[in-house]
A and B are shown apart, each in its own frame.
Chain A
Amino acid sequence: ETGVTQTPRHLVMGMTNKKSLKCEQHLGHNAMYWYKQSAKKPLELMFVYSLEERVENNSVPSRFSPECPNSSHLFLHLHTLQPEDSALYLCASSQEMTGGNQPQHFGDGTRLSIL
């Protein structure tokens, strides 16, 4: 079982659809992250959860809704997305969040395309 698993790997959806991205980590980590990666742009941090509590929300539009039911699982619920939301969505985890000195381990990502 790989460290951080994301499903689905690819997702095509219309602007009015509702879908969810799933992330599961098998590393025993306490912090989980959602990133957006678009072409020619650096990784953009979207949400951070530490011990199942959301600790960061970087001005992400409300059409993205995260959920962290336990320290091993993280979801990103998608609703009424825009074409500019097409990107690679990466989940990551780290042992702890405090201090930013822990390396983050990434899943393989979900390639999202909005029609």
Chain B
Amino acid sequence: QKEVEQNSGPLSVPEGAIASLNCTYSDRGSQSFFWYRQYSGKSPELIMSIYSNGDKEDGRFTAQLNKASQYVSLLIRDSQPSDSATYLCAVNIGGYSTLTFGKGTMLLVSP
């Protein structure tokens, strides 16, 4: 069973705070992990990709991967109201050639 689990939220944070979004997946053989942002009524937009254990930083975004715990997270520093969106976690479960998406976590950043 290929599964990617995310808390649906909403996760509410004040402007300027750190938002932490979490994702777990079902197979330790998974190799590629992606975070997408989807604004209401829009298509998913790639934010980050991560393939190795540890942290990967890109601007205000940091992806964290722990393959032993089957856990990947996305941290957003200095959250802005424009970050309010649904964040989708995608994994190639078991090293499979296609991606499995989670249901997404809705993030609300209040001014």
Main secondary structure of the interface of B (DSSP, over half): loop
Count, chain A residues at interface, CB 8 A: 23
Given the complex, which residues of A lie within 8 Å of B51, measured CB to CB? 101
Given A42-B102, A97-B97, A100-B99: A105 in contact with B46 (beta carbons within 8 A):
yes
Q: In the complex, what residues of A have CB within 8 A of residue B95's CB?
A: 99-100
B29 to chain A, nearest CB (A): 11
Of all chain B residues, the one with the shortest Cβ separation from A104 is: B99
Known A-B contacts A101-B51, A103-B34; the reply to A42 vs B103 at CB < 8 A is yes
Please, what's the 1-or-0 string for B65-109, where 1 marks a CB less than 8 Å from any CB in chain A?
000000000000000000000001010100111111111100000
Question: Given A40, A56, A90, A100, which contacts B43 in the complex, CB threshold below 8 Å?
Answer: A90
> Which residues of B pack against A, CB within 8 Å?
4, 31-32, 34, 36, 42-46, 49, 51, 88, 90, 92, 95-104
Seen from chain A, the residues whose Cβ lies within 8 Å of a Cβ on chain B are 33, 40-43, 45, 48, 55-56, 90, 97-109
